[in-house]
Amino acid sequence: MTNHWIDIKNSDCILIMGSNAAENHPISFKYVTEAMQRGATLISVDPRFTRTSSKADIYAPLRSGTDIAFLGGMIKYILDNDLYFRQYVAWYTNAPFLVKDSYAFRDGLFSGYDPKTRKYDKSQWGFQLDDRGNPKMDRSLKDPRCVFQLLKKHFSRYTTRVVSQVTGTPESDLIEIYKTYAATGAKGKAGTIMYAMGWTQHTVGVQNIRAMSIIQLLLGNMGVAGGGVNALRGESNVQGSTDHCLLWHIWPGYLKTPRASNTDLAAYNKKWTPVSHDPMSANWWQNYPKYAVSLLKSFFGDKATAENEFGYQWLPKVDDGKTYSWMDIFDQMYRGTIKGFFAWGQNPACSGANAVKTRMALEKLDWLVNVNIFDNETGSFWRAPGVDPAKIKTEVFMLPAAVSVEKEGSITNSGRWMQWRYQGPAPMGDSRPDGDIIMELGARLKALYEKGGTFPEPIVNLKWDYLTAGKYDPHKVAREINGYFLRDVTVKGKTFKKGTLVPSFAFLQADGSTSSGNWLYCNSYTEKGNMAARRSPKDAVNKIGLYPEFAWCWPVNRRIIYNRASVDLKGQPWDQEQWVIKFVGEHKDGKWTTKKWIGDVPDGGWYPMENPDGSKRSDSRYPFIMRKYGHGQIYGPGRADGPFPEHYEPLECPVSKNLLSAQLTNPTAVTYDTDEDTYNTCDPKYPIVGTTYRVSEHWQTGVMSRNQPWLLELQPQVFVEMSEELASLKGIKNGQRVRVSSSRGALEATAVVTPRLRPLKIEGTTVHLVGLPWHFGWTMPKSGAEKSANLLTPSAGDPNTRIPETKAFMVNVSRL
Amino acid sequence: MKLDRRQFLQATGAAAAGLAVSGLGFDLRPVKARAQMLKTQYARETGSICPYCAVGCGIIVHTSRRGNGRVMNIEGDPDHVINRGALCSKGSALSQLVENDTRLTEPLYRAPYAKEWKKVSWQWALDQIAQRVQETRDASFEAKNAAGQVVNRTTAIASVGSAALDNEECWLLQAMMRAVGLVYIEHQARI
Amino acid sequence: MGKSFLIDTTRCMACRGCQVACKQWHGLPAEKTENSGSYQNPADLSFDTYKLVRMKEETVDSRLRWLFFPEQCRHCLEPPCRDEAGDPSAIFSDDRTGAVIYTIQTRNLDADAIREACPYNIPRAAKDGTLAKCDMCIDRVENGLLPACVETCPTGAMNFGERDEILALAKKRLTEARKKFPKAVLIDPDDVRVIYLTAFDPALYYENAMADAGRFDMSRKMALRRMARPVSRGLSRMLRL
């Protein structure tokens, strides 16, 4: 989330699309309700009428997988009716940037597409640069090659009529929603989007979010209270585990995993450190080498020296152009190249797309380590119904983990708040905190490699001193993550003693004099103490619910990021009542003379861009400091599938034609080609759109919730929701058990026949949609009859993230 | 209307006299005693954050000071600025997540082709796992890739997880896995 | 005056935190349930389920509504169940809070008669005839805590406090609600301590949402008269005929 949970109350219009917040983030509705009491409008757009829809002022259905068409229509509506926030768009976004002549878009394809590799040459989409290497701009937004004009042209095809035919959303609903949401483009008004996996789990997942980001930039909703682009993250610490980068492509703090072509540390830093020649662009990532070297010092401590590139060569490198993501893992495992596998607090046999393939892949392993609090379908795959254990060679180690309340440490919520948790009871039985398991395994590996082995240096040299009295000590790790001064140094005029904690990432160095396990968390555990454990109920001066001394949030406790876009060029808030930051420096003769911001921690404390007399200042910076050119990206030339979002059908879809172009599906979508990877479009055997989701009463694959009788009481069985029309077509009665199948797998489910689902008119024909929660699996409930909805889903993925398309696929439903 | 916990305590008077049943002429002592005594009265209170979705609701954990020191009650923390005491159905059920007969409480091992789990010690399990890692890593270690570039990695071991770990645990896990040379490191954020 | 609840269904999104918090605090066992084609479970209140969020899908004025009704004992000001029992060691109204409390002595009562005396069909019996229902979390309330269901509610659907404050809040919320839902009503506010605010006709939510439920086969007037004046067991039986 660019904003945070409490801030939702400041919104004037809340769009919940691609998420079902009332069911999956129920406490968020505390703030949705508060906003509504203040007069905000709640809009719910969802293929199903959900518990979120039940509270909405406006509900509209759409066909799963057509969000870009829906949002593209909104972009067109905003532009056609001049509802965008002109000053904001002209000064804070890249709308005025001029794009190279090589950029083009023709009938569904952007320029630079190579059908053989199914990839784009993105260099064709770059900006026109001036002599100094800065993008050329037309702040009047009139140049035909400026982003604004190209945007207009791109979305000119997205008329409400066509959008309605694609999405199935009635045209009148589209117009009502567009009009209502676009009203937040007025100065002082804020609209927010709450989205989740309903947008990410598509072959166009990233572009779904890009489309909404464009809307938020056009309406001036980024950086303001009650605005932002808010991903509602689904696990208590999925934000923290992402920040610390349990992901193949990034190191802690979103640094890049080195590519094989980054042959040494200098080459690595050069490759990933962006350069801007515009003095007005903060280009924050110019500090990249400081964060990289500080991280290496945390990995290897004293063993990391300037001479050995701080241990850079000890760390694994990935091949250029190759991916190593979740679906790749199970593809490689299925092919037999992966022999050993750890699953920590995860149940991939139910959570990954194409569960049939995943389970067959597990059978190919030599060994599997599963750390969990309950038995589950992954650790016990070898004894699943229909599997003969005598034929499965895989050795399995099942390690019992402590529950969160039985251990101490921090987690980071969706609003980037890092919160400290304390230990209640001791771990039950002989279960252990994951931290102890990791520390002990690490210690054993170090002991083994001290005796010998292939390339032992990284393991032997890994700094591993996080025990206190023989036990894992989360405080020691939290301090390592924050980082230390490793020798007496003077930075920015301040002297720090060796061994003191670094006060913030602005003090990190690239010369090995500082360590920091994650630069983004530098400032979280300082000489002032454990900031995540703070509990002050006091709000900030602007009284918008920032609570700056309650817990801590990254970066540097900034509660609303991009907040310098919440003020005008003179540093004064667009919204006088619910302001985020405000410049209150002194001025003389029409010029600012002292620097002072109040409110939230500003995105950089520079002077505003203009003096009170309207003259421009050269010592200011553009507000989007993480972008190379300092502007919000309406045009995003870094994406794999195009600089503008474009509607493509899901890889499995019920139509043979895309009404918006000749290109049916995302030309860069990820697919796999084993026997277990099948994809069916317009196949009469699978004529119904399927989707998956969660309900309030269970969680993820259900391992934690299915084992609780109180929760099983509320939702005892896997179900499939369908319209009354489809049920009558298929002769299905409410409450009956039915079979749901795709070309990959099938399961039994209880039919929930409901007016909350409706058939949609798509391109003149009727399309039915069904949905299932993916919380179930055969280990519990004990009947073994409640199975995973991921038996149905395909291993198809977004080209940017490789997140699977589990929200739109084709199925059939039949009576048993 | 909603008072925070402290205000509420003041307003209602925590030292209430209990049920006013005098004059009824019946012996209601068991009822009275039950009503006056809060089951969590002598419990140890610790603060934590709900382990489900990422709203980050504060919870209060009541752990018994007696017997085996287990959880007696978990409820929303009224002084937490995000949830102000509120919890959904899953959060409200948290005590059952902890105090649950079906939890795994000892390491289990399943040998190749075996039909059943076998209980094993932590010592043995961790020794065995470390050995498997070394065997698989060393047998598959790539110092250089096909193009001759230094890569120092193994692609024969993968690790997924976890958003269920604390920040500090996540950091340790990725450090260990990267030191071992894994490139297949993923978790829930990808799905 | 005592205490009262306001249950503002216009704010309820059926997260069912209240339903589980009730079980958790009271240590009540889960019931074995099945999905019968609805999200609602269990199907009904029981000896082990004092609080149940009832769910119904209704089209009102050509718009689909998913109606949620977090049901529990209304803690009547003059509870017919208490009067029916006539045994304060089994059922009594607590002086301080007004909570209607059932004790273990209810096992000696005629459970069917008590159940039928309730205009809202709340009490449920165990096999041995002991009756149970919401106890207002009187142990929590006596110790300065909110009832578990109120504490856990995120949206302000569940409210609890001194009766005069709750009545004032109910009026305020009703005024607010009528801006969006002109037919919003408070259910039996003068007779009960658990006052519901519904956006539409209460009968759409649940057949026994109001005291004039058809189950009793008597008019609302009669039901209220019964609530207002204790009636003898014999008379109440006659009324049911």
B11 vs A367: which has the higher pLDDT: A367
For residue A709, the tally of other CB atoms under 10 A from its CB is 20
Cα–Cα distance for residue pair A143/A95, rounded to 1 Å: 10
Q: Is B23 a residue whose pLDDT tops 60?
A: no
Q: Is C165 on the interface with A (CB under 8 A)?
A: no
Q: Please name the residue that has the structure tokens 């739109």.
A: A808
Q: Of A336-345, B1-10, B74-83, C130-139, which gets the smallest average pLDDT? A: B1-10
Cα–Cα distance for residue pair B134/A196, rounded to 1 Å: 39
Burial A52-61 (b: 16+ CB within 10 A, else e): bbbbbebbbb
Per-residue pLDDT, averaged over C106-125, amounts to 96
pLDDT at residue B37, rounded to an integer: 78
State both tokens at B49.
């954050």
Helix (H) or strand (E) holding A24: helix A21-24
Cα–Cα distance for residue pair A150/A138, rounded to 1 Å: 13
Asked if A719 and A752 touch (Cβ cutoff 8 Å), the reply is yes
Beta strands in A640-710 (DSSP E): 688-693
Q: Is C238 a residue whose pLDDT tops 60?
A: no
Among C15, C19, C38, select the one facing A26 at the smallest CB separation: C15
At A187, which amino acid appears?
K
pLDDT at residue B57, rounded to an integer: 98
Query: Would you call A697 and C16 a contact, using CB atoms and an 8 Å cutoff?
Result: yes
Q: Which domain holds residue B73?
A: 44-98
Query: Would you call B173 and A246 a contact, using CB atoms and an 8 Å cutoff?
Result: yes
B31 vs A604: which has the higher pLDDT: A604
Residues B114 and B165 in one domain: yes
Cα–Cα distance for residue pair A757/A721, rounded to 1 Å: 7
Interface of C with B (CB under 8 A): 15-21, 23-25, 88-89, 92, 94-96, 101, 103-104, 138-146, 148, 151-154, 156, 159, 161, 165-166, 169
Q: Is C34 on the interface with A (CB under 8 A)?
A: yes
CATH number of the domain enclosing B70: 3.30.200.210
Among B19, B20, B85, select the one facing C151 at the smallest CB separation: B85
Cα–Cα distance for residue pair A15/A32, rounded to 1 Å: 10
At C137, which amino acid appears?
C
pLDDT digits (tens, 9 = 90+) for A611-659: 999 999 999 999 999 999 999 999 999 999 999 999 999 999 999 999 9
Residues B76 and B124 in one domain: no
Q: Is C234 a residue whose pLDDT tops 80?
A: no
pLDDT at residue A754, rounded to an integer: 98
Cα–Cα distance for residue pair C71/C80, rounded to 1 Å: 18
Cα–Cα distance for residue pair C124/C47, rounded to 1 Å: 5
- According to DSSP, the residues that pair with A367 across neighbouring strands are A340, A395
Backbone angles phi, psi at C7, to 5 degrees: -110, 105
pLDDT band with cut points at 50, 70 and 90 for residue C237: very low
Q: Is A318 a residue whose pLDDT tops 90?
A: yes
Residues B82 and B57 in one domain: yes
For residue A514, the tally of other CB atoms under 10 A from its CB is 27
Q: Is B34 a residue whose pLDDT tops 90?
A: no
Q: Please name the residue that has the structure tokens 């109180």.
A: A710
Q: What is the gyration radius of the CA atoms in chain C, in angstroms? A: 17
pTM above 0.90, yes or no: yes
Asked if A281 and A138 touch (Cβ cutoff 8 Å), the reply is no
How far does A532 lie from chain B, in Å, by closest CA? 11
Q: Under DSSP, is residue A659 helix (H, G, I), strand (E, B) or coil?
A: coil
Under 8 Å CB-to-CB from A596, ≥6 apart: which residues?
A: A583, A584, A585, A586
pLDDT digits (tens, 9 = 90+) for A774-811: 999 999 999 999 999 999 999 999 999 999 999 999 99
Contacts of B78 in chain A (CB under 8 A): none
Asked if A204 and A642 touch (Cβ cutoff 8 Å), the reply is no
How deeply is A144 buried, as exposed, middle or buried, from its count of CB atoms within 10 A (0-12, 13-18, 19+)? exposed
Helix (H) or strand (E) holding A396: strand A395-400
Residues B81 and B127 in one domain: no
How does the average pLDDT of chain A come out, rounded?
A: 98
pLDDT at residue A763, rounded to an integer: 87
pLDDT digits (tens, 9 = 90+) for A195-211: 999 999 999 999 999 99
Per-residue pLDDT, averaged over A502-523, amounts to 98
Q: Please name the residue that has the structure tokens 């199975």.
A: A787
Q: Which of residues 14-33 of B touch A (CB under 8 A)?
A: none
Among C30, C59, C176, select the one facing A713 at the smallest CB separation: C30
Asked if A446 and A459 touch (Cβ cutoff 8 Å), the reply is yes
Residues B122 and B73 in one domain: no
Q: Is B6 a residue whose pLDDT tops 80?
A: no
pLDDT digits (tens, 9 = 90+) for C4-35: 999 999 999 999 999 999 999 999 999 999 99
Q: Is C216 a residue whose pLDDT tops 90?
A: no
pLDDT at residue C226, rounded to an integer: 53
pLDDT at residue A96, rounded to an integer: 98
Residues B64 and B116 in one domain: no
Terminal CA-CA length for chain A: 44
How many domains, chain B? Answer: 2
Per-residue pLDDT, averaged over B53-73, amounts to 96
Which has the closest alpha carbon to A773: A269, A142, A351, A232?
A351
Q: Is A610 a residue whose pLDDT tops 50?
A: yes
Cα–Cα distance for residue pair C114/C124, rounded to 1 Å: 9
Asked whether residue B34 is assigned to any structural domain, the reply reads: no
How deeply is C10 buried, as exposed, middle or buried, from its count of CB atoms within 10 A (0-12, 13-18, 19+)? buried
- How is residue C43 annotated by DSSP? S
pLDDT at residue C219, rounded to an integer: 44
Contacts of C156 in chain A (CB under 8 A): 30, 33
Mutate to test the interface with B, among A342, A371, A413 (most CBs of B within 10 A): A342
pLDDT band with cut points at 50, 70 and 90 for residue C235: very low
Asked whether residue B12 is assigned to any structural domain, the reply reads: no
Q: Is B97 on the interface with A (CB under 8 A)?
A: yes
pLDDT at residue C32, rounded to an integer: 97
Backbone angles phi, psi at C208, to 5 degrees: -105, 25
Per-residue pLDDT, averaged over B27-33, amounts to 48
Cα–Cα distance for residue pair A178/A165, rounded to 1 Å: 16
Per-residue pLDDT, averaged over A451-475, amounts to 98
Q: Under DSSP, is residue B123 helix (H, G, I), strand (E, B) or coil?
A: helix
Residue B128's closest chain A neighbor by CA?
A397
DSSP A120-152: E-GGGG-B-B-TTSPBPB-TTS-STTBHHHHHH
Q: Phi/psi zone of residue A223: left (φ > 0), alpha (ψ -120 to 50 degrees), beta?
A: left
pLDDT at residue C56, rounded to an integer: 98
Distances (CA, A) of A737 to A279, A753, C36: 66, 11, 10
pLDDT band with cut points at 50, 70 and 90 for residue A681: confident
Query: Would you call C24 and B96 a contact, using CB atoms and an 8 Å cutoff?
Result: yes
Quick one: what percent of chain B has pLDDT higher than 70? 81
pLDDT digits (tens, 9 = 90+) for B111-163: 999 999 999 999 999 999 999 999 999 999 999 999 999 999 999 999 999 99
Residues B94 and B112 in one domain: no
Residues B113 and B90 in one domain: no
Asked whether residue B132 is assigned to any structural domain, the reply reads: yes
Residues B141 and B75 in one domain: no
pLDDT band with cut points at 50, 70 and 90 for residue B35: low
Q: Is B43 on the interface with A (CB under 8 A)?
A: no
pLDDT at residue A374, rounded to an integer: 98
Query: Would you call B172 and A430 a contact, using CB atoms and an 8 Å cutoff?
Result: no
pLDDT digits (tens, 9 = 90+) for C137-179: 999 999 999 999 999 999 999 999 999 999 999 999 999 999 9
- How is residue C109 annotated by DSSP? S
Q: Is A272 on the interface with B (CB under 8 A)?
A: no
Whether a cis peptide bond, with omega within 30° of 0, leads into A566 is no
Terminal CA-CA length for chain C: 35
Residue A409's closest chain B neighbor by CA?
B166
Quick one: what percent of chain A has pLDDT higher than 90? 99
Q: Please name the residue that has the structure tokens 């290109």.
A: A663
Q: Is A339 on the interface with B (CB under 8 A)?
A: yes
Asked whether residue B22 is assigned to any structural domain, the reply reads: no
Residues B71 and B140 in one domain: no
Among B5, B19, B76, select the one facing C152 at the smallest CB separation: B76
Residue B158 half-sphere exposure toward CB, CA atoms < 13 A? 27
Q: Is A408 a residue whose pLDDT tops 60?
A: yes
Final residue of a structural domain among B36, B70, B98: B98
Residue C1 half-sphere exposure toward CB, CA atoms < 13 A? 10
Final residue of a structural domain among B53, B76, B98: B98
Residues B146 and B166 in one domain: yes
Asked whether residue B29 is assigned to any structural domain, the reply reads: no
Asked whether residue B151 is assigned to any structural domain, the reply reads: yes
Q: How many CB pairs under 8 A join A and C?
A: 96
Asked whether residue B20 is assigned to any structural domain, the reply reads: no
Which has the closest alpha carbon to A766: A696, A689, A657, A673?
A689
Q: Is C231 a residue whose pLDDT tops 90?
A: no
Contacts of A711 in chain C (CB under 8 A): 20
Asked whether residue B183 is assigned to any structural domain, the reply reads: yes
Residues B183 and B113 in one domain: yes
pLDDT at residue A13, rounded to an integer: 98
